[in-house]
Structure formats: C-alpha cells, structure tokens
C-alpha cells in the first residue's frame, strides 16, 4: 500500500472508463447496454486484480502445480498496491451499475464525476459513497457556514482522539503479542485479542469520522460508516453496523443479484458464504482474509439456523449476554484478519489454549482500559446521535470542556509510534 | 462571510488559550513520566539538578575491560580531581552532538552550572554515523527536550515530527555518500570514494607471505575505511550541532569543553595505512582550529591511547581500558583546571 504519484493515472483510467461507459449505457439499449456495463466492470475488476491479487493468484497456482508434482516458479510483480484502490474502484463501479439499472442518470460533466471518485476526505478508505448521494452533494453550491466548520471540527477532533489515543495506544501491545504469542500468558493473549477488536474499530471509525468531519467543513454530507457495531446482538446485526457502506455495497450488488432472501435455504446458505468469501478477499490478497470472511458467513448461517428453533427473549440481561457473545465471536474471528498467515493464527489460538499462566514477557496496559471504556461509553452514548449533533446544543462552557479534554488526550496521551490507518492497505 | 471568519478567529484564539492551559497541566502531570519513558536522558539531567559540571558522553564513558582493576568511568575519574564540584555524568550508548544539543535544554540554569564537557567523537562526523539506522531512535529520544512547549513536543512525538527516516532511506543515504563524496588527502590517494577504497581493500587488501589472505585484517581495514574515511568541511551536519552547543554556552554563560575522543590510530595505520591516518589527523586539525577560533576549549585526545589499550581489538570503537580512561580523564582535567579555578 503506498501513495505513488504515477498511480494517480490509474484513478484517471477508472474515471474515464466509467464516465464514458455510463454515458454509453444510458444511450444504448438491449444487449449493447449490458456489454458496456460488463466492459466497465471488467476494466475495474482487472485493475483491482492486477494490483492487488496478481502475486496472490500466481503464488497459489504455483502451489497447486507443486502439489501435483509440477515445478512452476511463480512470477512475482514488483508492484505496490495503490492506496485506497479497493475503495474507489468499488465506488466507481456502483455508479455504472446504478446507471445500468436506470436508478441513476449518467453524469455528463466529467469534472463532477471525477470529483465523485476523487473526493479527498473519503477517497482513501471510504465510506464507499453512491453517486445518488455524494454526486448530488457535490453538485450543490456550498457557501462557508460556521455551523459546518464547527461540526467538522468536532468530528475531526473526535476522530483524531479515537485514532491517536485509543487505536495507537492499543497497537503496540497487540503487535507485541502477535509477534511472539508464545511469550505471553493465555490471559494476556485473550486480552490482546479483545484489544485488537477495539484497535481496528477505533482505527477505522476514527478515519471515517475524520473523513465525515472534513467533508462537513466543506458543507458536504457523507454517510456514517459505523453504528456502534460492538453493541450488536448477533452477526447479522453486526454487519448492519460495521463498515456499513461496504456491507450495503455487497448487499446491493452481489447478495441481492444472487437472489437475496428470496431463495430456498440451501441456496441462501451458498449465497451468504459467497458474499462473505468475496468480502474477505476484498480486504486483502491472503487466505487469512478469506477465512475471516468465511467464518463471518458461517456464523451468520449458524445464527439463522438457531433462530429457527430458539426464540430470543427481549430481557435486558439476555440482550447484554447476546451482545457479549457477539463481541466474543467477532473478536476470535478477527484473529485471522490480524495474523499474517495461518501459522500465526494457529500459534495465537494454540498459545491462548495452552500457555496458561506461563509468560516470559509482561504487558504494560497503562491507561488502555480507560481509553477502551471511553470508546464503549461513546458508542453507547452516541448510538442515536453523533457527537457533533449532541454537542451543538450544549452551552459553550460544556462544549469547550469536552474539546479541552479531547485535545489534551490527543496531544498528551496519544500513542508514540506512527501507525498508518489499517484500512489504508485495502 | 465576514461573520464566519470573525467567529472562527475568536474560536482559534480560544483554542490557543486552551492549549496554553493544557500545556501547564501536562507539564505538571504526565511530562515527567513521558520523559522517563521516551527521553530517559532528559530525566537523568533533571535528577542531577544543581550540578556544577555536566559530562555528556557516549559508550566511551560506560565500558570497561574485564581485567580493569578500576571500573571507574572517565567522568568519575575526572570528578576525583574536582572534589569541590558536583559533576553529573550523562551518558548513553551510540549518541552524539545531535542529541547533546537537546540535552542542554534540560539543564536547570537557576543553579548556574559552570562547565559542560562534551565528547567529540570523530566517527560521529562520518556518513556511517550520520546515516546510522540508530539515528531515528536517537532523534525520537530528543523530541521531548526541544525548545517548544512540552505539550507540543509530546504531540510532535506522536505525529513522528522529527528526523523520522526509515532504515532503508538512511542506508541509501549512507551508500550514496560513500559512493559520491570524493576524498581528500595530503597524500596522493588512489581511491576517490569510500566505496572504491573499501572495494580495493576488500578485494586484496592484505596478502600474507604464505599466499593466504589475512581476512581478519582485511575486514577490520574495510571497517576502518567506512568509519574514518571522510573529510570534515563546513557542510558537515555534525558541525551545526556543535555550533549550537557552543552558542548555548555563550548565551547562558556556561563554559564548554569539547573533548575529541581517542581513536585507534595505530590500528588504522596497520590495517589501512598512512593515507587513512592522514585523513583522521586532517579532521582533528580542522576541528581543533575551527572551535579554538570560535571560543571553545578543545581537548585533543585523538592519539592519546595506544592501540593495545582499546577494549575492542577487532572493531572500531572509543572503548578504553583503565589505562586509556585514566589518560583521557587526566588530559581533560588539566584543561578544566584553568577553567574551574
């Protein structure tokens, strides 16, 4: 993952292909219409596959050959994944699909369409916006309004707090455990598995909040990508609250075209697993990501079977237990996301089960649990209303007390290593 | 529009006031803890508040030979010569003037220190040190000691706002310097650059009488070339660091002694030859002349310690056994005497 200046050209290719495809789709009918869509999709997916999956596929082909006794030296391309490629190709694809479906008029102005793909606050790691929302926002004239600046500032400040204070303080602890799990006790490993759940959430949620804040300063509204995901009571609900823009993308452009809920149970199981496998692969060119997606799909299927036979009580305690259960399951599945390979994931689980109280190293948690507590608290508190909205009707003394606290934490208590946003690598 | 900008201006002013207040809170709460964690040398200096003399050194002040009868460091040996003065020894491995200049900011000037002794390590002027992979962590350890408000320094640390190059970038810079910078010597040096010289030495430097290569001597020779084959001139980055130290001394009325540390000239001669020794002496002369003219006291220890009194016999270092340390301490003390009394 890198920002290589020449790679900007890839973005221009994506923009030009989809811009002209959409106009052609709109102006054609019958099979030609579909041909233009397919051409557009193939171009986008080819770019994605070339930069993201070429070496991965080659390596796997080589392993298959070697399994059947044929020696095949894989040719590895010395290329770096352009930053944010998965996000802007998906965003651009959603536009041509919507034009094909007749839900969206093709944009005739290349400038507006380019701005949609290149809109800087969310270009690198989403949220993956639709043209129907972001496009019209970008077409509207936005005058500088103080409230927009203020809301944007609040969101950026909160996003920086989440990223720099919560995620970046957790990162070194999780890294130490994942580097040598054999050196830590089972208890420390379990805690760091849980901590990674908060790290990746704080990292990605922080980025999304900053992106929404930056857009808000310009008067542009972009969608919320998270809605307190760890308060979900089951995996299905988790996916309605986690990385919402990606979840809805897969729902609209893969799950529903495959048949959605309107198919028989066996077909539904297969469709669900396909969607989650591809979602896993979207995250990274590694079997661990595929496994991560597969396990989420499997858990979703499993939960649906359970729901056929068990009626869940609405009792508050039961709801809390279900929330904890979901968090526990999601955290364990995150191990595959975080581990560099299956051996490492296996080592983590092995150490978790068998290390017991033996440990060569200790972890210094410092104020981490307090920061995690603040993150959970903010999730509970801002479930129905965002921090910027919540703060806007408070008096100035209260608002500035909150700002001061956030600024203090961000400037004085943030992590001291420079960790790039995790989702930048996708 | 005018209203919007006026409101933003008022809020920005308020923000600055908040940051000023938060700086006070931070300085009284977390700063010392952070200093211990991320800039331990700063913490050490604060602990030695009220000292008359500060000795800033690298590993030369913390290494001893196994069979030394006295394990006292150079600074401890110096302190015996000045029993009426409190000497603070501030040292850590692989450090240089690029860090010392920030250490000065931690000295409590209310107690009026009299003298700062700063080691001047010849190797630290070379591309190998300037672009060492350790440089990022050295620079990181100085961020909290910079002359900005403490909370801004802490924020800069989080954001990586310091000379924060990757190992690869530093390695490339080092190789580039070795490849491109032409060497000057009084003798007619056949090799134009460090890499050229290193390559000649590595491919036939030392042939023994029995026809075998003296691999050990060859390796050491290559190492000496990379460590000492450079010409210090006005564009050398390290000079700026020493200049800043000197300037600090002048502004605050504190005398500064630069102590050029002994290097193993004998081995440089026997492993590489006189050409390298010439370059080392040229560099020493340059430093002595330059800093004597600008008002510093320079103690020239370069050739003070005999080759056998170095602890590392197969590597370049400024690690001396007790004979070496005593000689250096004595030499520095002699110069100090004129300054202290």
Q: Is A286 found in the same domain as A185?
A: yes
**Residue B340 pLDDT > 70, yes or no?**
no
In a domain, A44, yes or no: yes
Choose among A51, A20, A49, A52: nearest CA to A37: A20
End-to-end CA distance of chain B: 68
Choose among A169, A177, A178: nearest CA to A198: A169
pLDDT in tens, B245-273: 999 999 999 999 999 999 999 999 988 88
In a domain, A133, yes or no: no
Which of A88, A109, A243, A283 is labelled catalytic?
A283
- In chain A, residues with a C-beta closer than 8 Å to the C-beta of B38 are 416
Percent of chain B with pLDDT over 70: 97
pLDDT at B56: 95
pLDDT at A243: 93
End-to-end CA distance of chain A: 7
Looking at domain B39-126+238-262+277-306+317-340, its CATH class is: alpha beta
* Pair of tokens at residue A391: 């703060």
* Of A67-71, B99-103, B142-146, B246-250, the least confident: A67-71
- In chain A, residues with a C-beta closer than 8 Å to the C-beta of B4 are 144-146, 149
In a domain, A125, yes or no: no
| Neighbouring residues of A60: CB distance < 8 A, sequence distance ≥ 6 | none
Integer CA distances (angstroms), A426 to A14, A252, A266, A292, B42, in order: 17, 21, 32, 15, 40
End position of a domain, from candidates A97, A118, A139: A118
Closest Cβ opposite residue A414 in set B4, B18, B158: B158
Across the interface, whether the CB atoms of B158 and A168 are under 8 A apart is answered: yes
Across the interface, whether the CB atoms of A411 and B26 are under 8 A apart is answered: yes
Closest Cβ opposite residue B30 in set A403, A410, A412: A412
Across the interface, whether the CB atoms of B154 and A145 are under 8 A apart is answered: no
pLDDT at B47: 92
Mean pLDDT over residues B26-47, rounded? 93
For residues A215 and A336, what is the distance between their CA atoms, to the nearest angstrom? 33
- For chain A, which residues lie within 8 Å of any Cβ of chain B, measuring from their own Cβ? 143-146, 149-150, 164, 168, 400, 403-404, 407-408, 410-416, 418
Neighbours of B341 (CB within 10 A): 7
* Of A364-378, B64-78, B95-109, the least confident: A364-378
Give the minimum alpha-carbon distance from B163 to chain A in angstroms, rounded to a whole number. Answer: 13
- In chain A, residues with a C-beta closer than 8 Å to the C-beta of B159 are 418
Across the interface, whether the CB atoms of A411 and B151 are under 8 A apart is answered: yes
**Residue B146 pLDDT > 60, yes or no?**
yes
A vs B, Cβ pairs < 8 A, gives 53
pLDDT at A3: 56
Q: Express the helix, strand and coil content of chain B in percent, nearest 5 each.
A: 55, 10, 35
End position of a domain, from candidates A118, A138, A166: A118
Mean pLDDT over residues B116-122, rounded? 95
- Catalytic (active site) residue A109: no
Q: Is A84 found in the same domain as A191?
A: no
In a domain, A272, yes or no: yes
Give yes or no for a contact between B147 and B42, defined as CB atoms under 8 angstroms apart.
no
In a domain, A52, yes or no: yes
Taking CA atoms, what residue in B is nearest to A402? B18
Q: Is A173 found in the same domain as A108?
A: no
ipTM entry: 0.85
Low-confidence ranges of chain A (pLDDT < 70): 1-5
Give the minimum alpha-carbon distance from B242 to chain A in angstroms, rounded to a whole number. Answer: 28
Number of domains in chain A: 2
For residues A411 and A20, what is the distance between their CA atoms, to the nearest angstrom? 47
pLDDT at B208: 64
Q: Is A360 found in the same domain as A419?
A: yes
Taking CA atoms, what residue in B is nearest to A165? B158
The average confidence (pLDDT) of chain B is 90
pLDDT at B207: 62
pLDDT in tens, A83-126: 778 888 999 999 999 999 999 899 999 999 998 988 888 777 77
Q: Is A113 found in the same domain as A151?
A: no
Range of the domain at A99: 5-118
Q: Is A367 found in the same domain as A270?
A: yes
Q: Is A230 found in the same domain as A112?
A: no
pLDDT at B215: 79
In a domain, A249, yes or no: yes
Across the interface, whether the CB atoms of B26 and A407 are under 8 A apart is answered: no
Residues B46, B51, B56, B60: is their CA dihedral positive or negative? negative
Q: Is A170 found in the same domain as A265?
A: yes
In a domain, A128, yes or no: no
pLDDT at B205: 63
Q: Is A176 found in the same domain as A325?
A: yes
In a domain, A251, yes or no: yes
Closest Cβ opposite residue B8 in set A149, A412, A414: A149
Q: Is A197 found in the same domain as A97?
A: no
- In chain A, residues with a C-beta closer than 8 Å to the C-beta of B158 are 164, 168, 411, 414-416
pTM over cut 0.80: yes
């Amino acid at each position: 993952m890198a920002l290589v200046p020449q790679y900007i050209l890839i973005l221009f290719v994506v923009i030009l292909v989809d811009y002209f495809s959409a106009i052609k789709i709109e102006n054609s009918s019958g099979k030609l219409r579909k041909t233009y869509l397919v051409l557009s999709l193939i171009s986008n997916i080819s770019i994605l596959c070339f930069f993201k999956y070429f070496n991965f596929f080659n390596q796997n082909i080589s392993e298959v050959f070697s399994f059947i006794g044929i020696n095949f030296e894989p040719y590895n391309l010395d290329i770096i994944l352009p930053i944010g490629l998965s996000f802007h190709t998906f965003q651009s694809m959603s536009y041509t699909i919507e034009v094909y479906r007749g839900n969206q008029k093709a944009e005739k102005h290349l400038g507006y369409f380019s701005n949609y793909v290149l809109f800087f606050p969310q270009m690198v790691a989403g949220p993956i916006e639709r043209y129907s929302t972001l496009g019209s926002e970008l077409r509207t004239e936005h005058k500088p309004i103080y409230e927009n600046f203020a809301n944007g500032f609040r969101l950026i400040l909160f996003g920086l707090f989440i990223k720099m204070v919560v995620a970046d303080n957790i990162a070194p602890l999780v890294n130490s455990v994942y580097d040598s799990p054999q050196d830590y006790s089972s208890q420390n490993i379990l805690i760091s598995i849980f901590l990674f759940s908060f790290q990746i959430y704080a990292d990605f949620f922080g980025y999304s909040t900053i992106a929404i804040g930056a857009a808000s300063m310009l008067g542009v509204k972009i969608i919320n990508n998270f809605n307190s995901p760890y308060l979900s009571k089951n995996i299905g609900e988790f996916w309605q609250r986690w990385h919402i823009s990606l979840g809805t993308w897969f729902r609209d452009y893969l799950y529903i075209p495959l048949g959605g809920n309107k198919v028989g149970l066996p077909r539904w199981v297969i469709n669900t697993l396909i969607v989650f496998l591809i979602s896993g692969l979207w995250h990274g060119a590694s079997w661990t990501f595929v496994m991560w997606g597969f396990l989420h799909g499997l858990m979703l299927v499993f939960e649906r079977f359970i729901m056929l036979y068990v009626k869940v009580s609405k009792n508050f305690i039961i709801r809390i237990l279900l929330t904890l259960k979901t968090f526990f399951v999601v955290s364990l599945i995150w191990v595959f996301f975080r581990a560099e390979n299956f051996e490492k994931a296996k080592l983590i689980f092995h150490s978790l089960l068998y290390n017991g109280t033996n440990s060569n190293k200790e972890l210094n948690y410092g104020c981490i649990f307090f920061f995690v507590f603040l993150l959970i608290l903010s999730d509970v508190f801002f479930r129905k209303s965002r921090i910027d909205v919540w703060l806007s009707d408070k008096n100035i003394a209260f608002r500035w007390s909150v700002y001061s606290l956030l600024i203090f934490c961000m400037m004085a208590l943030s992590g001291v290593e420079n960790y790039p946003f995790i989702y930048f690598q996708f | 529009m005018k209203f919007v900008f006026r409101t933003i201006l008022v809020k920005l002013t308020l923000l600055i006031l908040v940051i000023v207040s938060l700086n006070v809170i931070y300085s009284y709460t977390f700063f010392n803890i952070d200093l211990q964690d991320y800039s331990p040398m700063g913490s050490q200096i604060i602990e030695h508040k009220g000292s008359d003399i500060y000795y800033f050194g690298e590993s030369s002040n913390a290494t001893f030979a196994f069979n030394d009868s006295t394990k006292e460091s150079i600074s401890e040996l110096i302190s015996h010569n000045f029993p009426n003065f409190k000497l603070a020894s501030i040292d850590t491995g692989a450090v240089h003037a690029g860090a010392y200049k920030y250490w000065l900011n931690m000295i409590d000037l209310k107690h009026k220190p009299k003298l700062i002794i700063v080691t001047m390590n010849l190797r630290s002027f070379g591309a190998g040190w300037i672009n060492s992979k350790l440089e990022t962590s050295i620079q990181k350890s100085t961020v909290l000691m910079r002359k900005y408000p403490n909370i801004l320094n802490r924020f800069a640390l989080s954001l990586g706002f310091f000379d924060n190059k990757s190992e690869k970038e530093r390695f490339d810079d080092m190789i580039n310097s070795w490849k491109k910078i032409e060497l000057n010597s009084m003798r007619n040096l056949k090799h134009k650059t460090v890499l050229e010289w290193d390559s000649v030495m590595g491919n036939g430097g030392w042939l023994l009488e029995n026809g075998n290569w003296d691999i050990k001597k060859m390796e050491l020779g290559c190492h000496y070339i990379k460590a000492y084959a450079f010409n210090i001139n006005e564009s050398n980055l390290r000079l700026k660091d020493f200049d800043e130290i000197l300037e600090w001394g002048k502004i605050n009325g504190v005398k500064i002694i630069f102590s050029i540390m002994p290097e193993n000239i004998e081995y440089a001669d026997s492993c590489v030859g006189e050409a390298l020794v010439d370059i080392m002496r040229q560099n020493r002369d340059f430093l002595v002349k330059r800093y004597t003219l600008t008002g510093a006291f320079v103690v020239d220890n370069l050739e003070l310690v005999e080759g056998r009194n170095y602890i590392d016999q197969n590597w370049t270092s400024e690690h001396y056994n007790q004979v070496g340390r005593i000689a250096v301490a004595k030499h520095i003390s002699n110069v100090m005497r004129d300054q202290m009394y």
